[in-house]
Structure formats: C-alpha cells, structure tokens
C-alpha cells in the first residue's frame, strides 16, 4: 500500500499517521490549499458559522487526546517488541485505530477549511477567520467556550496578540 497517496507519513516508531493531525502543521497531503480559496468574513458572517464550527471543534478537541494516547500506547508496545518478528497483532490493531482517529481528525480539519476557517490549536480549540478591519487583513479570533467572536488579531500576531473587537465593529456581529 502506498501510504503517501493516502496522506500518511511514517513516524520514527513506524506508525503511519495522517500528516495533518499535528498542531501547527499547515500542510496536509490530499488537501490542496489552493483549492479552498481564502474567504473573508464580516464579523456577523463569522459569528453565523459558530454553531457548526463549535460542533466540529468539540469533536477535534475530544479526538486529539485519543490519538495522542493511542500513539503513546503504540510506542510502548513497539519498544518492547522484537523488530525481526514484525508487528504484533496488538501493534497492528493500535496502528489501525491510530489511522482511523487520524483520518477523522483530518476530515474535521478539512471541514473547517472548507467553511473558510483556520484551525489554530487542539489545546484551546482556537479558530481564526480571515477578515478586514479598517481595510487591513486580520483574523477574527474565537476559542472553544466563547459564546461569540469577541477578539481579533493581526495575521502574524497569533493568540498572544488577541485584542477585543472595537465597540464600533462589535455592534455589527
């Protein structure tokens, strides 16, 4: 089986996992970033996507620790295995579960991408939406647990640069 065609890469422990499930990884094989054009949201438009975005992010945030735990279990089992015997049935079962969870995570990430969002972090459930403020490109910034989008930041600033949305704009969303 050609794992590269299926969007997988082999880790140092021999696990094939979806490339896109690592926080901060901006490229996932099988997802042509040019195929999803950049969408600019008004604050109101971004807030209207939140019911769906919240459900997807909740799934991502719950799946990622499962994936991490499965990878850790696989690595423990693999460390005690004899390489000349190949993968044990336990390793094969764990690898299959890892790939299944990774595939689900990649699918959810693709859903967010198709909406026009940029997923920024599994720990906080961060999502950015491209927008414009005073004619300048920026991100509307939302994190899991927030009722609505109330922050923005410059494209390069990241979460640390989050600022409250100006009152004059906030009334529009």
Q: Could you read off the pLDDT of 111-124 as tens digits, one per residue? A: 999 999 999 999 99
Domain hosting 124: range is: 39-170
Does the residue 107 lie in any domain? yes
pLDDT computed for residue 65 by the predictor: 97
Q: Which residues of the chain have pLDDT under 70?
A: 1-36, 170-173
Does the residue 115 lie in any domain? yes
Does the residue 80 lie in any domain? yes
Our count of domains for the chain comes to: 1
Does the residue 72 lie in any domain? yes
pLDDT computed for residue 152 by the predictor: 97
User: What tokens appear for 57 in the block?
Assistant: 């992010």
Does the residue 6 lie in any domain? no
- Range list of β-strands (E), the chain: 8-10, 16-18, 117-121, 126-133, 136-143, 151-154, 163-164
Does the residue 26 lie in any domain? no
Does the residue 7 lie in any domain? no
Task: Using the CB atoms, write b or e for 34-63: b if 16+ within 10 Å.
Answer: eeeeebebebeebbebbeebbebbeebbeb
Does the residue 130 lie in any domain? yes
């Amino acid at each position: 089986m050609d794992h590269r065609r299926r969007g997988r890469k082999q880790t140092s422990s021999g696990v094939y996992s979806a490339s896109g499930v690592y926080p901060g990884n901006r490229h996932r094989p099988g997802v042509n970033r040019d195929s999803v054009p950049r969408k600019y949201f008004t604050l109101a438009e971004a807030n209207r996507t939140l019911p769906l975005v919240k459900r997807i992010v909740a799934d991502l945030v719950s799946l990622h620790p499962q994936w991490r735990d499965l990878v850790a279990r696989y690595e423990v089992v693999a460390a005690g295995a004899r390489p000349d015997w190949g993968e044990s049935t336990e390793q094969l079962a764990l690898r299959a579960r890892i790939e299944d969870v990774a595939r689900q995570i990649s699918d959810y990430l693709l859903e967010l991408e198709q909406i026009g969002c940029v997923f920024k972090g599994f720990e906080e459930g961060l999502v950015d939406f491209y927008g414009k403020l005073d004619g300048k490109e920026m991100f509307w910034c939302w994190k899991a647990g927030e009722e609505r989008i109330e922050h923005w930041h410059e494209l390069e600033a990241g979460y640390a640069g989050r600022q409250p949305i100006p009152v004059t704009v906030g009334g529009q969303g």
